[in-house]
Amino acid sequence: MKNTFGNLLQITLFGESHGAAIGCVIDGLPAGIAIDEDLIKKQMEKRKAKGRISTQRHEADEVHIVSGYFNGYTTGTPITILIENTNTRSKDYTKTRYRLRPSHADYCAEVKYNGYQDYRGGGHFSGRLTAPLVAAGAIAIQILKQKGIEIATHIENLHGICDTPFHHEETMLTQQINKLHELEFAVLDDNAAQAMHSCIEDAAKQGDSVGGILESCIYNLPCGIGEPFFDSLESHLSHLLFSIPAIKGVSFGLGFDFAKHYGSEVNDALYFDTKVKTKTNNNGGINGGISNGMPILIHTVVKPTPSIYKQQDTIDAKTKEAVKLVIEGRHDPAIIHRARVVVDSVLALGVLDLLLEKEAASHL
Amino acid sequence: MKNTFGNLLQITLFGESHGAAIGCVIDGLPAGIAIDEDLIKKQMEKRKAKGRISTQRHEADEVHIVSGYFNGYTTGTPITILIENTNTRSKDYTKTRYRLRPSHADYCAEVKYNGYQDYRGGGHFSGRLTAPLVAAGAIAIQILKQKGIEIATHIENLHGICDTPFHHEETMLTQQINKLHELEFAVLDDNAAQAMHSCIEDAAKQGDSVGGILESCIYNLPCGIGEPFFDSLESHLSHLLFSIPAIKGVSFGLGFDFAKHYGSEVNDALYFDTKVKTKTNNNGGINGGISNGMPILIHTVVKPTPSIYKQQDTIDAKTKEAVKLVIEGRHDPAIIHRARVVVDSVLALGVLDLLLEKEAASHL
Amino acid sequence: MKNTFGNLLQITLFGESHGAAIGCVIDGLPAGIAIDEDLIKKQMEKRKAKGRISTQRHEADEVHIVSGYFNGYTTGTPITILIENTNTRSKDYTKTRYRLRPSHADYCAEVKYNGYQDYRGGGHFSGRLTAPLVAAGAIAIQILKQKGIEIATHIENLHGICDTPFHHEETMLTQQINKLHELEFAVLDDNAAQAMHSCIEDAAKQGDSVGGILESCIYNLPCGIGEPFFDSLESHLSHLLFSIPAIKGVSFGLGFDFAKHYGSEVNDALYFDTKVKTKTNNNGGINGGISNGMPILIHTVVKPTPSIYKQQDTIDAKTKEAVKLVIEGRHDPAIIHRARVVVDSVLALGVLDLLLEKEAASHL
Amino acid sequence: MKNTFGNLLQITLFGESHGAAIGCVIDGLPAGIAIDEDLIKKQMEKRKAKGRISTQRHEADEVHIVSGYFNGYTTGTPITILIENTNTRSKDYTKTRYRLRPSHADYCAEVKYNGYQDYRGGGHFSGRLTAPLVAAGAIAIQILKQKGIEIATHIENLHGICDTPFHHEETMLTQQINKLHELEFAVLDDNAAQAMHSCIEDAAKQGDSVGGILESCIYNLPCGIGEPFFDSLESHLSHLLFSIPAIKGVSFGLGFDFAKHYGSEVNDALYFDTKVKTKTNNNGGINGGISNGMPILIHTVVKPTPSIYKQQDTIDAKTKEAVKLVIEGRHDPAIIHRARVVVDSVLALGVLDLLLEKEAASHL
């Protein structure tokens, strides 16, 4: 499957940056779920480009639910979300159509689609495609919340500037999660937030861009979600995370730091305190591909946006001749602060899918 | 889908560590492909436990192809691979059945399968399940080789000891790949190899375990493989990689180091030299989820094996009381040197699946 | 998968009869295919309600392609088709909401969706959902035509009135197919056409409805399409055909008449005449689940529309009390003449999907 | 998907008639289900060739469960069933390899697999592949039985000889079902049974073959199973039924007889009697693709086995020259009496899959 993901909860994504509309179809949601449209709006707001740290293309991103939704409740049939593209300046792209932007999908698209791709604003590759993901994710987030499952993501590291990580202690962690639900710029430490903000603005001034590392937490996920092969919780979530443009690495728990340690240092000892827990959580809440009841901890790296205003070396797609490229148009000096809500969204969709699958087996 | 993966090339994995047999079904291979059984043996040999750096459970791992294979060629119908379990000592496990091993899947399995799981030797969670993956992968590797696509993996970092990384220069890189095809202990630098070997032996002596980081390369993959959503090349490959027990992180190109750099530092400038190339390969051969013709570069982290001989704190699954656990049985002090061929195998299966999909669209 | 069908060519259907819009997403079409919008219009026209033999709800059924289509060609990304609902009279349904219409999905929907379904005009169960199928099918029909594959369907039997069946002789068959491409009321014999027309009008006058049997032909499908298990050509096509509301039987070749004959009477002897052919075509062009190069011959039965104006016995969904029901609103006295183009459409989508799959294997 | 079917309960089928073994993998069954191996044996016995009405190839058909089964219970991981091929006479087939048997898959296989197919005994196309389906189905039947759902099939028509159909009255129907569970030759009326038996024997004496029509009933299936698009209950079940070799037609309820009636004659009026029921059951328990709580009634036509001993016209696959063919080997003069248990099996697998899906949505 290409543009569809999920077993029991399937999401199909469509649209191009400068086409009439972008959107998605969500299939598999049970009937009778009340949708909180305000939460959809709030989530869409978190993804919006604002201020000098984002692109100057400002989209209304009004979400229309055109099917599967009746009198305020899901009907059990496919939910279709439509978002119109309004603020497009397609001419910006036509003149540089054949100047392949470095580290963009331009060359890959040219080869894969044989020149027929909609090249305007990145077409189907545009970050705009994450808008319907956020709308869909907002619905999943509501359902999970009712089951006591919370998802939150913060910028742990922006171009070297570090935020305080998620706490191991539960009360502290839930406070952090609640704080993040309200924050537009998802950084727990206020000084770090300010420093990161300035860092992005500086990059913008220089016509450059920066990236960073997101830390995500799925709190209160019950034990037993995921499969040994091939639908491990890590497999399932990484599949979705790596669909988000600009994400180039995903790790769970200690991640790449596991390489530094002995087994005896990083094994998570079990104990019982109202429920089964582990003293440490180096495995990020997952053993054998299955959730163990501890918080799921995930790191994702978001590369610096490839759209920079500095002059770059590239070639012309037609002549193959070397050319100098200066990108025009409106672009983000960083997308990590907007990507954060996209990460939350796909995590929610992925978790809800597996949760539905677990229910099926449990209640036979 | 749980134990099945793939769109056009589907692999279904089955079996338990101490059951009658483990195996897999491979569906979707065209008819008329000659299978080199010697290569299957060679790959199985690379996965085998040998010497003091691996478990003392030595399995013959003889591969039986019981369907889809006739007169030396694939028939176009499902290929079933069976590997018998012979060297099992199930009693080792019965006595500690309820002592949940830290960082193992024991507790998750107990909850998910309600106590009905085959707990002997890790059951379905055992690393033994990777044996049929290697046999299946060997067939995929042969097919890719005939199309000029090579896959190789080495231990880049074992508990801090580093190997020389893959070269950017093409001739050097192909030499490294060829060397790795022949090596049993996949380390390019001989001194590093010796040091890593000693490090594992030392860990074994202390009843402890170590992990590390693998670097993989898919060489000569044509441009245009992968999808923007949701089957990006990163999504597809990470899905498979995270199915391998003990893998806790996957990254492409610069991976988590992207966080340190400006866009202007890490954008890969394009140029033309017999074909379109990039001067650097920070994106690891993938843009917008699609291969760009440069080598695909992947890092995976393999955690230290959780089976250690040191005493550990845990609980009894039934009584929930705290107990001290000393694991007996035969275990690996490290699996990264065996995991390497498993990584090659799933990469080959994943790439072949997407390649078949590309062919479908191209030849309509 | 619920509302998505297909392996390489996936179609996702959405919408409700009285919602804002109905539509579908088609994923998997290669880039660079010119879409003939006039053919889409022509096919939509064949499905439209006209005259006294159809419902008086007349919808514009204007087809909007909002993604995956650029400068007249497919882009290779998902194609989204939207059709607005305009001519709705939702009040007709509100007053009889709980009076379960016999042989309709009302009761099933009430149970399955727990009362949350959009009940207006049949909601997601409405025959209107076949409109996007026809639009999508029109694109598939164009592609197949370019490969020399033609699909045609006629009403072989309407309430006992019979049309001349498809010819075994090839030149005659192609003439029949060409004639059907142009006909709005798909009956080959003009007298039969007139008699059927009158039969439907008479049923309409009596407030009753009629059904019938469609015969379909897929001409020039190459040998080798379909799989032995479980994706036999019969399985794949019947899956799609039985998705069309009101279809209650599907058969291939002789179908249920096979029960009357000895094997020696119905085996199709092979001979060679420029290509391998069979003297008879009792198997309807399929052996072992795979096309054999002869025309694919299919019968489908369309039941009389359950919406009749005569008084019927039923119960109230809430009180479970017996009630008399007289259906109001606008309804079809027969849908078989409109269903014919829906059958052609799903056959085209199903065949194209399998054709893409065949290409994948052939060109590895 | 080719040789895999199902959403939540997936079955993957493999093997060839004269290979080492045939079998299947069943994935998605919850853990903790006790498997009654005696019922598997009983069902396998019903499929076995016996007496003069079946082939003289007698296979032990011993069922080995090599994974997913531990201490008498399912483990929740994939269940693999293996059945060895023992009584093979491959030489029978080698000499006639290129003489294409009419109405068999020989020619299709030759083209599809480019001559690489295992041609011995029909290879992957053999009716033997239905043996693992029966073993898998037996497990599904057990689970459904525990939920009160019963499945039964009888030969309603064999070459014109008719059995008494399923009763509309519930007590009578359950008696019929219970009788069929015990019968080896599934005919309700004893005189009809005798006449059918003789008819097959006569056909066998003449070196000919006969077919017929099966009537199946799924009793006590709860209302709400199936989807409007594309996984209607009819779609799902017909997909599986048309995978069974020799089945050429599937219908529900009145089936093709719907063409004879007015809507007012065949609409099923609803009434309430302890639960919602319909006075007639012309729709065979399905409305809008969804079960309505009434018995599911299905007809399938099984064509006469194409392997007859009479001389037939065909061509040589290599030279394309006309040749006379006299089939040797051991063959069935009818398979309908053996197919009956295969039909029960795939219906059970199909229903269980959808039931699991329903549970998922209900318990979120």
Cβ pair D76, D70 in contact under 8 A: no
CB pairs under 8 A between C and D: 352
Rounded percentage of chain A residues whose pLDDT exceeds 70 = 98
In angstroms, the separation between the Cα of residue C174 and the nearest Cα of chain D is 24
The torsion angle over the Cα atoms of residues C323, C326, C331 and C333, rounded to 10 degrees, is 100
D329 — pLDDT class (breaks 50, 70, 90)? confident
Q: Who wins on pLDDT, B326 or A359?
A: B326
Residue from B74, B26, B29, B22 nearest B47 by CA? B22
Residue A360: per-residue pLDDT: 73
Least confident of A160-164, B89-93, C73-77: B89-93
C31 — pLDDT class (breaks 50, 70, 90)? very high
* B76 vs C contacts (CB less than 8 Å): 361
Nearest to D360 among A77, A228, A359 (CB): A359
CB-based contact, C364 to chain B, within 8 Å: yes
Interface mutation vs chain D, best among C215, C250, C321, C331, most D CBs within 10 Å: C250
Alpha carbons B54 and B307: distance in angstroms, whole number: 12
pLDDT at D92 over 90: no
* D77 vs A contacts (CB less than 8 Å): 228
Residue A94: per-residue pLDDT: 73
CB atoms within 10 A of CB C273: 7
Residue B260: per-residue pLDDT: 97
pLDDT at B360 over 90: no
Going from the C-alpha of D140 to that of each of B54, D214, D349, the distances in angstroms are: 42, 20, 6
CB-based contact, D72 to chain B, within 8 Å: no
CB pairs under 8 A between A and C: 165
Residue of C nearest to A76 (CA): C113
Contact: B67, D4; criterion CB under 8 Å: no
Nearest to C14 among A78, A113, A117 (CB): A78
Residue of A nearest to D147 (CA): A364
B248 marked ligand binding residue: no
User: Residue C336 corresponds to which tokens in the numbers above?
Assistant: 């078989």
The overall pTM is greater than 0.80: yes
Interface of D with A in 28-47 (CB under 8 A): 28, 30-31
User: For the residues B206-233, what does the mean pLDDT come to?
Assistant: 97
pLDDT at B334 over 90: yes
D360 — pLDDT class (breaks 50, 70, 90)? confident
CATH topology of domain C90-362: Chorismate synthase, AroC fold (3.60.150)
Contact: C313, D276; criterion CB under 8 Å: no
Residue D107: per-residue pLDDT: 96
Maximal CA-CA distance, chain A: 69
pLDDT at A357 over 80: yes
Contact: D363, A362; criterion CB under 8 Å: yes
CB-based contact, B12 to chain A, within 8 Å: no
Contact: A259, B160; criterion CB under 8 Å: yes
User: Residue A53 corresponds to which tokens in the numbers above?
Assistant: 């740290």
Interior angle at CA B146, CA C222 and CA B156, nearest 5 = 130
3-state DSSP call for residue A261? coil
Alpha carbons B249 and A248: distance in angstroms, whole number: 11
pLDDT at C329 over 80: no
CB-based contact, B116 to chain A, within 8 Å: no
B78 marked ligand binding residue: no
Contact: C299, D223; criterion CB under 8 Å: no
CB-based contact, B23 to chain D, within 8 Å: yes
CB pairs under 8 A between A and B: 351
CB-based contact, D259 to chain C, within 8 Å: yes
In angstroms, the separation between the Cα of residue B275 and the nearest Cα of chain D is 35
Superfamily (CATH) of domain B4-362 = Chorismate synthase AroC (3.60.150.10)
Whether the link from the prior residue into D230 is cis, omega within 30° of 0, is yes
Hey, CA dihedral for C294, C295, C301, C307, is it positive or negative? positive
| Helix, strand, coil distribution of chain B in percent, nearest 5 | 35, 25, 40
In angstroms, the separation between the Cα of residue B32 and the nearest Cα of chain D is 6
CB atoms within 10 A of CB B311: 11
Nearest to B315 among A243, A276, A306 (CB): A276
pLDDT at C221 over 80: yes
- Return the exposure string of D54-87: e unless at least 16 CB atoms fall within 10 Å of the residue's CB, then b: bbebebebebebbbbbbeebbbbbbbbbbbbbee
CB-based contact, D248 to chain C, within 8 Å: yes
Cβ pair A295, A281 in contact under 8 A: yes
Contact: D70, B114; criterion CB under 8 Å: no
Cβ pair B75, D2 in contact under 8 A: no
pLDDT digits (tens, 9 = 90+) for A316-346: 999 999 999 998 877 899 999 999 999 999 9
pLDDT at A90 over 70: no
pLDDT digits (tens, 9 = 90+) for D237-249: 999 999 999 999 9
Residue D118: per-residue pLDDT: 94
CB-based contact, C140 to chain B, within 8 Å: no
Interface of D with B in 51-70 (CB under 8 A): 64, 66-68, 70
Tell me the average pLDDT of chain D: 94
User: Residue C230 corresponds to which tokens in the numbers above?
Assistant: 């479980």
pLDDT at B363 over 80: no
> Residue ranges of C for the binding site for FMN?
124-126, 288, 303-307, 330
User: Residue A140 corresponds to which tokens in the numbers above?
Assistant: 């999943």
CB-based contact, B27 to chain D, within 8 Å: yes
Least confident of B7-11, B83-87, C360-364, D60-64: C360-364
Alpha carbons A209 and C214: distance in angstroms, whole number: 62
In angstroms, the separation between the Cα of residue B16 and the nearest Cα of chain C is 27
Q: Which chains touch B (3 or more CB pairs under 8 A)?
A: A, C, D
Residue B92: per-residue pLDDT: 65
Nearest to A251 among B13, B248, B302 (CB): B248
Residue C90: per-residue pLDDT: 67
pLDDT at D364 over 80: no
C196 — pLDDT class (breaks 50, 70, 90)? very high
Least confident of C202-211, D57-66, D343-352: D57-66
B54 marked ligand binding residue: no
Q: Give the helix ranges, DSSP H, for chain B.
A: 37-47, 91-94, 106-112, 130-146, 170-182, 190-205, 233-241, 263-266, 336-362
Query: How far from the centroid of its chain's Cα atoms is residue B234's Cα?
Result: 15
3-state DSSP call for residue A273? strand
Residue of D nearest to C322 (CA): D271
Contact: C276, D228; criterion CB under 8 Å: no
pLDDT digits (tens, 9 = 90+) for D19-35: 999 999 999 999 999 99
pLDDT digits (tens, 9 = 90+) for C124-182: 999 999 999 999 999 999 999 999 999 999 999 999 999 999 999 999 999 999 999 99
D101 marked ligand binding residue: no
* C6 vs A contacts (CB less than 8 Å): none
